A and B are shown apart, each in its own frame.
Chain A
């Protein structure tokens, strides 16, 4: 992705020398959860008349989280539900703005928070490949060059002129994954999207991820599946209620996670 506009590209030379792909420093993010959701002008006016000041609770989704990921590393983020993993991923992807702290990304980043973002059901598969490619930061020429490969990988060549709304969900995801994988990023963020399609396609995806990993790309993986984390990740971050609990070698962190789960029953 071309994220330079955000000013998030690391300019610090030391990171380049240390070989850090992602540097997160003292990251904080809170959400406002209103007691009463006011979504209209009308409700806001009524609220003003009643005199009740806008009341909301603050949820601290990330509290002072710091870590760094080296180039070529596969890094896992684990933790129970609601621990802030997804929030962290969204901040890294540039979707959410942090309240405090710094995020530095060195290189082209492709977030796979969800596959098929922006797909238009009313358009043909072919049009959607170009659309999705553009969203993921590819130019028209790039997509043109890789189009055959995308179609071959997704095994959907004969459906290329069919409207996407007639696609099954499996076909949908296959097309999305095949396109997304062509963006050739330096860093990819993955939020448990590996479990897509049928078994044979899953295997193909797994192989592709392995191939990307071997090619020296950086992968940040958020997952519930400890098996996946163990087999893929070099290092891990364990989080609980928005805080960093453990950071280090995968085996150590996984052991810590198991202990934590036993304690909480």
Chain B
């Protein structure tokens, strides 16, 4: 398998990506944590005062939503240019090109893990506490990784041919943000649409994060299987598209 053979390169590319990301700003990692916290504060103010949202622990509820959303948002937006941005590694030397996408997604994955790590003390401070259900967290996070990696493969390979994809994807992600239960509870979704609404794997993923972190309960096996199947399907489709488009990467970049 290519990712075993090239694990050394994947590791080193991931680490350099993280180093560049956190070294270039003085506050480094603090920034990537301040961003979701500030967003949470603004949204908390708007939704709890203006819209009078009633939800226990609304601040934590939103923060979990925002932090989980950040992985797909940051992961896809940085990996979309992972091929074009490292063009010399495509045109001047042979390495499996998936290495470039995988290492970018892995770096976003690690950033996301760190953000969840900072969430842990907040869970205690804001009164939700921790429970053994947190042990289920890694499984959810790995399945989520599959989804993000699969989408990234599609985006990165299409971006070589269509350079306005970043703008299109930005808009789609903004729509996605409001089509997922991040800043509002699931109960506000009109029941007649709920069936379609639940088809969004992000909805299910965010709900599972809340189950294990906030509500201290096991997510339903059905939810988990649904996201797992979606994740694997997206990865297979992504690999197929990537493999087909990869052949002319070096000519198109």
CB distance from A248 to the nearest CB of B (A): 29
B19/A31 in contact, CB under 8 A: no
* Cα separation A130 to B8 with both chains bound (whole Å): 10
Stretch at the interface among B89-97, B136-144, B186-194, B205-213: B89-97
* Cα separation A84 to B243 with both chains bound (whole Å): 26
- How many positions in chain A have a CB within 8 Å of any CB in the partner chain? 35
A123/B89 in contact, CB under 8 A: no
Does A111 count as interface, using CB distance less than 8 angstroms? yes
| Contact count A vs B, C-beta below 8 Å | 83
Assuming the contacts A41-B164, A120-B20, A122-B24, asked whether A95 and B86 have C-beta atoms less than 8 A apart, the reply is no
- How many positions in chain B have a CB within 8 Å of any CB in the partner chain? 32
B12/A93 in contact, CB under 8 A: no
A135/B9 in contact, CB under 8 A: yes
Q: Choose among B5, B12, B95, B250 the residue with the greatest number of A CB atoms under 10 Å from its CB.
A: B95
B88/A117 in contact, CB under 8 A: yes
Stretch at the interface among A1-9, A14-22, A205-213, A234-242: A1-9
Does A114 count as interface, using CB distance less than 8 angstroms? yes
Q: Choose among B90, B162, B248 the residue with the greatest number of A CB atoms under 10 Å from its CB.
A: B162
Candidates A2, A39, A44, A95; contact of B92 at CB < 8 Å: A95
Residues of chain B within 8 A (CB-CB) of A117 are 88-89, 92-93
| B contact residues vs A (CB 8 Å cutoff) | 2, 5-6, 8-9, 12-13, 16, 19-20, 23-24, 86, 88-96, 161-165, 168, 247-248, 250-251
A1-B94, A39-B161, A111-B92 known; 10 new pairs, CB 8 Å cut-off, are A40-B164, A41-B162, A111-B93, A114-B92, A118-B86, A131-B12, A131-B13, A134-B12, A135-B9, A135-B89
